[in-house]
Chains A and B, each alone.
Chain A
Amino acid sequence: MSLYTEGEPIRDTKAPDGPIETRWERRRFSAKLVNPANKRKMTVIVVGTGLAGGSAAATLGELGYHVKSYCYQDSPRRAHSIAAQGGINAAKNYRNDGDSVYRLFYDTVKGGDFRARESNVHRLAEVSVNIIDQAVAQGVPFAREYGGLLDTRSFGGTQVSRTFYARGQTGQQLLLGAYQALERQIAAGNVEMNARHEMLELIIVDGRARGIVVRDLVTGEITTEFADAVVLASGGYGNVFFLSTNAKGCNVTATWRAHRKGALFANPCYTQIHPTCIPQSGDHQSKLTLMSESLRNDGRVWVPKRAEDCGKPAADIPEDDRDYYLERIYPAFGNLVPRDIASRAAKNVCDEGRGVGPGGLGVYLDFADAIKRLGRPAVEAKYGNLFEMYERITGEDPYQVPMRIYPAVHYTMGGLWVDYDLQSTIPGLFVIGEANFSDHGANRLGASALMQGLADGYFVLPNTIGDYLATGSFEKVDAGHPAAIEARQQVEGRIAKLLSIKGDRTVDSFHRELGHIMWEYCGMERTEAGLTKAIELIRNLRDEFWQRVRVLGDGEGLNQALERAGRVADFFELAELMCIDALHREESCGGHFRAESQTPDGEAQRDDERFSYVAAWEYAGTGEPPVLRKEDLNFEYVHPSQRSYK
């Protein structure tokens, strides 16, 4: 049986055409408005309280909608967005260094390796400036200059200084801004917050998303919740690799359940591997820690020229015997090349046997020159907390010895397919933030995820969702509706099944093994043979999971192993789709590198003739091959070229 079939192409019918600068304005004008008096009568479910979900729920509450918000953590403030370090982009051009909305748009389309929609990206760049204003008004303590104005820095892969930051904790500060706005709406009675609740199924009535099935993680109670529209802001799925920089609870369940109910899943294979993470120290490793990319502004990346030197302390390797390989191969961008390029270069030097540290899986990131040039206090002011974090984890002092870094899974560009209005292929189901696929193409630029999450949540969704809600009101549904009963039974059945297997392997042991398969065959470099093998391995492991997994306890109260088991079960299905997507895309682009498709000097080789499209996958039923639906990409403004950072 072939791995997939091809169906009808798909189109985004919501983006206006005409001049790109005015598309968003025109869409906002053409969108229907909801009468203010009616807003109060409309309920919107928002799953997730990260930058995307938190900002959306707060804003929808301010607009007067009744909002029900969910997260699996004990407080909305703990969403994974809290961990973002480096910064957020915005085309403010405060530096007068040639930046503009158009340049941010251009950089993002190019950085995404020409696999994103121009209309979406332009809107993102336009809205970026409002985000900074909004955050400052909320009291987000961004870094400032002595004159009291906002400081910026340049960040991975850009030559202008457009990244706003709050020391190494930009995500935390932005999220607290959104969280506080959300709490204000909770206090006002506009948002009903349900922390420690996990969405486990989507409820569809008459073809529209009308609710979700949730499990109260404390009591184990399963309930059906209803609304006029459902927004998924449930984050990315990097944890399919087990080891990643994501928080331990990050998962694909919300979006995967929606996918199984008909929402198309776009570009699942586009994964971002971040070049600067702390290398793994042993088999006990439970997650990987990112060292902000901003470190590459001042740190220099190198490995020994000769493999024989790799065992020596860094200090014993003279300057002449060091290979500053990024500066050598990419003289124009040097240590600031985009993430995908920096990651693969690190892999290549390690594959040549020139890696440093345990298992030869590491490269140096050296601050000796920066300390000499700027002085230790200046380096400390910029990176102090990152250096401390590094020392805490490794026991080594980066002021004295160079850091060791290695690439790790960090972000997933793929996600549920959405149109320009951020609506999925299921009417009434909207998807925002990392959970959708929309703006980053095949590679996301640094500091652009925070921008996109907040753009979606504060400014885009609150405008576009009205156009949908204005077509209501919809028929009333309650727990007795056949669709709700069925969805609920699906959830209960799965939980009962997981608890009844009583096998001899833990959930984590399966998750780790799945992660190994994905990293090996669907990681930084992918091949036809490897991916074919991975699909087979994943299927076998999945069958084994459903026969041998052991989940103790019951479903009645807090049961963390049960939560993880459900998430891992969904990761298995996603993993297979990721490999199929990677296998079908016989080109290299952005974070997706197919060994068969490279230039003579080893760079990614796109194939625009055959692959200038979004691959949106339709679920065809358990055990059935998924259906590929293509959305053609057209470039009217930024003409596809081979990315070159040399």
Chain B
Amino acid sequence: MNLTLRVWRQKGPQDKGRMVSYQVTDVSPDMSFLEMLDMLNERLTLEGEEPVAFDHDCREGICGACSMVINGTAHGPQKLTTTCQLHMRTFSDGDTIDIEPWRAKAFPVIKDLVVNRGAFDKIIQAGGFISAPTGSAPEAHSTPVPKADADEAFDAATCIACGACVAACPNGSGMLFTAAKITHLGLLPQGQPERDSRVVNMLAAHDEAGFGGCTNAGECTAVCPKGIPLTTIGRLNRDFIKASGKR
């Protein structure tokens, strides 16, 4: 396949940045999207142009590092798929592909396609945990957990903190990410003691980090590679109202 790529190039946080076109030829349909970019970068290097910077690590959809808006959609056209899992067989010969970084107030661009997602860690710091210092744990079987709850908690816990939800949201909200953690921990018996303070503190950290509010646009869940559902946000809201009532 031969493709035209239009890639966001930005030297650093201060640079204004712009789209730059590149032709790539002989792309195999079996290549992953990032392998196609590797190929471009090899060529750029030999031609004396600095390669395109992008975040990636596991290349199997689990670390949450990769983060590209492809043709206007966070992580590209395939549902439930991270950028690194996208394969070129999804595209056709002659296509033009736009590649841009996440754009959100809370995620400033560092260089090219690389952004700073440290704001997510801040939200977790505020309460995305169960306080169980090492050594203090009771025997694992002392508290059975109904399978349905454990499974639902697991589903929410699969969030990879990629930030696609934020990039897709018209308000740049991090609510789906926050709600996934609230749901995971709030469904488990171990998570109950801190349930109220968790939701209040995490939401405060969310707002403070520059994320926008949630207006139920639903764009987040549509691009989420792990299929985190909007119902988690409903749960967060209920928990928040309950917790606020108690204060």
State the A residues within 8 Å of B (CB). Answer: 55, 58-59, 62, 73-78, 80, 82-83, 92, 94, 130, 132-139, 141-150, 166-167, 169, 172-173, 176, 179-181, 183-184, 186-187, 193, 195, 218, 247-249, 281-282, 284-287, 289, 389, 392-393, 395, 458-459, 462, 504, 506, 508-509, 550, 552-553, 557-558, 560-561
Number of A-B contacts (CB under 8 A): 217
Answer whether A83 and B132 are a contact pair too, CB < 8 Å, given A145-B147, A508-B42.
no
The answer to the question of B97 belonging to the interface, with a C-beta cut-off of 8 Å to chain A, is no
Q: Do A166 and B140 touch across chains, with their CB atoms under 8 A apart? A: no
- Which residues of chain B are near A147, meaning CB under 8 Å? 144
Q: Taking A78-B63, A133-B137, A148-B144 as given, write out 14 further A-B residue pairs in contact, using a Cβ cutoff of 8 Å, ordered by the A residue number.
A: A73-B65, A82-B160, A94-B141, A133-B140, A139-B185, A139-B190, A141-B151, A149-B144, A176-B157, A181-B134, A184-B131, A504-B46, A508-B42, A558-B111
Question: Is B35 interfacial (CB 8 A cutoff)?
Answer: yes
- 10 A-B pairs with the lowest CB-CB distances in the bound complex, closest first: A148-B144, A137-B137, A180-B129, A137-B132, A141-B154, A187-B125, A133-B137, A281-B30, A247-B57, A136-B140
Q: Are A561 and B51 in contact (CB under 8 A)?
A: yes
B31 at the interface (CB under 8 A from A): yes
Considering the chains assembled together, what is the distance between the CA atoms of A180 and B137 in angstroms? 15
Residues of A within 8 A of B139 (CB): 133
Contact partners of A247 in chain B: CB under 8 A: 57-59, 63
Q: List B residues 137-160 near A (Cβ within 8 Å).
A: 137-141, 143-147, 150-151, 153-154, 157-158, 160
Instruction: Tell me, yes or no, whether B117 is within 8 Å of chain A by CB.
Output: yes
B129 to chain A, nearest CB (A): 4
Secondary structure dominating the interface of B: loop
- Write out the residue numbers on chain A whose beta carbons fall within 8 Å of the beta carbon of B146: 144, 148
CB–CB B57/A248 < 8 A: yes
- B103 interface contact, C-beta 8 A: no
B51-A75 in contact (CB<8A): no
Most chain A beta-carbon neighbours within 10 Å: one of B132, B134, B158: B134
Residue pair A389, B61 in contact (C-beta under 8 Å)? yes
Chain A residues with CB under 8 A of B238: none
* Bound form: Cα–Cα A632–B72 in Å: 61
Do the beta carbons of A141 and B150 come within 8 Å of each other?
Answer: yes
Flag if B62 contacts A284 (CB, 8 Å): no
Give the chain B neighbours of A392 by CB distance below 8 A. Answer: 81, 85, 87
CB-defined contacts of A92 to chain B, threshold 8 Å: 140
Contacts of A59 in B (CB 8 A): 133-134
In the bound complex, residues from chain B placing their C-beta under 8 Å from that of A249 are 57
* Inter-chain contact A78/B121, CB cutoff 8 Å: no
- Cβ A143 vs Cβ B118 within 8 A: no
A133 to chain B: which residues have CB within 8 Å?
Answer: 137-140
In the bound complex, residues from chain A placing their C-beta under 8 Å from that of B57 are: 73, 78, 80, 247-249
Given contacts A75-B121, A80-B57, contact A141 B153 (CB under 8 A): yes
Distance between A62 CB and nearest chain B CB, rounded to angstroms? 4
CB of A560 within 8 A of CB of B53, answer yes
Q: Encode B191-227 as 1/0 by CB contact (under 8 A) with A.
A: 1000000000000000000000000000000000000
* A393–B114 touching, CB < 8 Å: no
Sample 26 A-B pairs with CB under 8 A, ordered by A number.
Answer: A76-B121, A80-B58, A82-B58, A83-B58, A83-B60, A83-B63, A130-B135, A136-B137, A136-B143, A138-B130, A143-B150, A147-B144, A169-B62, A172-B160, A180-B129, A181-B132, A181-B134, A183-B128, A187-B125, A195-B121, A247-B57, A284-B31, A284-B35, A286-B34, A550-B45, A552-B48
Say whether A144 contacts B59, CB under 8 Å. no
Kindly provide the distance from the CB of B36 to the nearest chain A CB, expressed in whole angstroms: 8
- Interchain CA distance A395-B172 in the complex, whole Å: 34
| Max chain A Cβ within 10 angstroms of own Cβ: one of B39, B53, B131, B140 | B140
CB distance B60 to A195 under 8 Å?
A: no
Q: Are A144 and B110 in contact (CB under 8 A)?
A: no
Would A282 and B60 be within 8 Å (CB), given that A395-B87, A560-B53 are in contact?
Answer: no
**Do B121 and A183 have beta carbons less than 8 Å apart?**
yes
Task: Point out the residue from A134, A184, A187, A195 that lies within 8 Å of B118, measured CB to CB.
Answer: A195
- A148 and B56 form a contact (CB under 8 A): no
- Chain B positions within 8 Å of A142 at CB level: 150
Please, which residues of chain A bring their CB within 8 A of the CB of B93? none
User: With A149-B144, A284-B31 known to touch, is A166 a contact of B39 (CB < 8 Å)?
Assistant: no
Q: Is the CB of A506 within 8 A of B121?
A: no
For the complex formed, measure the closest distance between the CB of B46 and the CB atoms of chain A, giving whole angstroms.
Answer: 7
Task: Report if A557-B132 is in contact (Cβ < 8 Å); known contacts: A392-B85, A395-B89.
Answer: no
Contact B56 A248 (CB under 8 A): yes
CB distance from A336 to the nearest CB of B (A): 24
Q: Is B75 an interface residue (CB 8 A)?
A: no
Closest to A188 in B: B125
Closest-by-CB residue of A relative to B57 is A247
Residues of A within 8 A of B28 (CB): 281-282, 284
Task: Name the residue of chain A whose CB is nearest to the CB of B12.
Answer: A557
Residues on the A chain within 8 Å of B42, using CB = 506, 508-509
Q: Counting CB contacts under 8 A, is B55 at the interface?
A: yes
Complex Cα gap A285–B35 (Å): 7
Complex contacts, B191 vs chain A, CB 8 Å: 139
Find out whether the CB atom of B58 lies under 8 angstroms from the CB atom of A173: no
Residue of A135, A193, A289, A558 touching B110 (CB-CB under 8 A): A558
Evaluate contact between A137 and B157: CB separation under 8 angstroms.
Answer: no
Which B residues are CB-close (under 8 A) to A80? 57-58, 63
- Asked whether B116 is an interface residue with its Cβ less than 8 Å from the other chain, the reply is yes
Which residues of chain A have C-beta atoms less than 8 A from B243's C-beta?
A: none
Within the complex, what minimum Cβ distance (angstroms) separates B154 from chain A? 4
A62 lies within 8 A of B145 (CB): no
Max chain B C-beta neighbours (<10 A), residue from A186, A287, A395: A287
Which one, B48, B65, B190, contacts A136 given CB within 8 A?
B190
Instruction: Flag if B38 contacts A284 (CB, 8 Å).
Output: yes
Shortest Cβ distance from A442 into chain B, in angstroms?
Answer: 27
Question: Which of B11, B31, B51, B118 meets A560, CB within 8 Å?
Answer: B51
**Is A137 in contact with B138, judged by CB distance below 8 angstroms?**
yes
Which residue of A74, A504, A506, A561 is within 8 Å of B116 (Cβ)?
A74
Do the beta carbons of B62 and A172 come within 8 Å of each other?
yes
A637 to B134, CA, bound (A): 31
Q: How distant is the Cα of A134 from the Cα of B31 in the complex, in angstroms? A: 41
CB of B51 within 8 A of CB of A148, answer no
Determine which residue in B31, B45, B81 has the highest number of CB atoms from chain A within 10 A of its CB, and name it. Answer: B45
**Which chain B positions have C-beta within 8 A of A187?**
125-126
Nearest CB of A to B148, in Å:
9
CB distance from A83 to the nearest CB of B (A): 5
> Which residue of chain B has its CB nearest to the CB of A184?
B129
Q: When chains A and B are docked, how far (Å) is the Cα of A147 from the Cα of B145?
A: 8
| Residues of chain A within 8 A of B31, CB atoms compared | 282, 284
Checking A144, A166, A504 against B145 with a beta-carbon cut-off of 8 angstroms, the contacting residue is A144
A511 → chain B closest CB, angstroms: 11
* A285–B136 CA distance with the chains assembled, in angstroms: 45
**Do residues A389 and B60 form an inter-chain contact, with CB atoms below 8 A?**
yes
Residue from B61, B124, B190 within 8 A of A138 (CB atoms)? B190
The chain A residue sitting closest to B186, CB to CB, is: A139
- Identify the closest chain B residue to A385 (Cβ): B158
B138 to chain A, nearest CB (A): 7
Contact residues in A for B188 (Cβ distance below 8 Å): 139, 141
**Among B28, B118, B154: residue with most chain A CB under 10 A:** B154
Q: How far is the CA of A249 from the CA of B184 in the complex (A)?
A: 29
A137/B130 in contact, CB under 8 A: yes
Chain A residues near B144 (CB, 8 Å)?
144, 147-149
Whether B64 sits at the interface, judged by CB under 8 Å, is: yes
